[in-house]
Chain A
Amino acid sequence: EIVMTQSPATLSVSPGGRVTLSCRASQTISSNLAWYQQRPGQAPRLLIYGASTRATGVPARFSGSGYGTEFTLTIAGLQSEDFAVYYCQFYNKWPLTFGQGTKVEIK
């Protein structure tokens, strides 16, 4: 099983700021990584797939990068609706695994 590890667990950021979230895979996964956003009380929403491709309707302030075992999600110019929990997911082979999540909170 490929284990996905996200860091940090929590990030405190001021509105308008920039954050970088990290996700590490226990084995190389090429670019088979997705990122999701989950706002309180809501279902997750797909943000990024293929490590760096934004899903339909996702603002350009969200960007993903990485390959192999190290991945990042960057959010530039944080807006109020961006304060949420973010999960990475490996999706190429069963078991499909998620990271434990990074909470982006208002500083």
Chain B
Amino acid sequence: LAKTTQPISMDSYEGQEVNITCSHNNIATNDYITWYQQFPSQGPRFIIQGYKTKVTNEVASLFIPADRKSSTLSLPRVSLSDTAVYYCLVGDTPLSGSARQLTFGSGTQLTVLP
């Protein structure tokens, strides 16, 4: 499982676009990049997943450069309710063989200020 590195914390203001970058230098060919969001006292929530270039859904965009050694989660026009921990996961499927290392790391604490 590729090791990931994220900033421990970030602050932003309401209405701004937030970009959280995750480094994964030893990403493997079959690995996908997945981001989760977790609010206090709740389970993580799947946000977005991608393999290369750009993926967009109603919540966020995921930018992956050609070398795939990093990825950036982009949250447009954040609000106070986007304050949460964001986790970057990198790994392949199927589960067998890699599941033992299916960990979320410590994530990035995003704080949105008024």
Chains A and B bind each other? no
Chain B residues close to A by CB (< 8 Å): none
Chain A residues close to B by CB (< 8 Å): none
